[in-house]
Amino acid sequence: MDATALTSPASLCTLPDSLYVGVSTKMYMGYARSLEWLEQLVAEVDARPALAAGRVVPFVIPSFPVLPAAAALVAGSPLVLGAQDCGWADGPWTGEVAPSMLAELGVGLVEIGHAERRRHFAEDDAVVALKVGAAVGSGITPLLCVGEAEACAPEAAAEFVFHQIKAAVSGDWAMAARLVIAYEPVWAIGAPEPASAQYVSMVVGALRDALAQHGLPGLPVIYGGSAKPGLLPQLSGVSGLFLGRFAHDAANFGRVLDEALAQPTGC
């Protein structure tokens, strides 16, 4: 990418360089069921040799106790292993899991700042920033969850999300370049239907314009919030989908992978 591309409005480019398709189990599955499902997920990925090219990046985020066995299951697969959260340091933090240990287990990506963590565990921007810094310091990519609480104008939603990203990296845009952004409007999480494709595309387009001012027009921004098969082809400028319960049927995960592989990328 040349220097002029870095300073041009992001809206001129609506085709991401890479697409990400991922899923979290949250706490919906027990241990044995998680491993059975992971085997099915690996089979879906292995059935699509085109994923080896890396243009579409699949990832999976099981619960903490499953991670060691999951690492063995996904070894040699294009699937990137993720964790659902992390602590912000090693040391005397009872019940937390350090990013350094996650890295040792083979975790490549960690979900940080999900709306449930912000709402129910009182994680504010300062805590999110500590976790983002710790994850980056351990060589793990933060999957930073952002999103407005209520439906509003796309420009207002994009401004809110932009400030969440800025706070998460304490204004360090070089660190922001290490992130994958999961845009999940809070009002759409768990809803029967996701936010409209037009709304999501407009929010992400406005967000990219803001990020372009800091040299980050191509930062991966994926959409979550009741995302399911059939949505990705309707979106513009979005770098993939973060799936929930729809992908607890591994075949649905495979369907979205096919949609991603069929999408054009690059500008």
Closest by CA to 83, choosing from 74, 91, 92, is 74
Q: Is 214 a catalytic residue?
A: no
Measure the CA–CA gap between 213 and 9, rounded to whole angstroms. 8
Measure the CA–CA gap between 131 and 62, rounded to whole angstroms. 19
Closest by CA to 247, choosing from 84, 58, 115, is 58
Which is catalytic among the residues 114, 148, 248, 259?
Answer: 114
Measure the CA–CA gap between 178 and 136, rounded to whole angstroms. 7
Contact 249, 42 (CB under 8 A): no
Beta bridge partners of 182: 145, 222
Which is catalytic among the residues 148, 184, 248, 259?
Answer: 184
Q: Is 248 a catalytic residue?
A: no
* Active-site annotation, residues: 114, 184
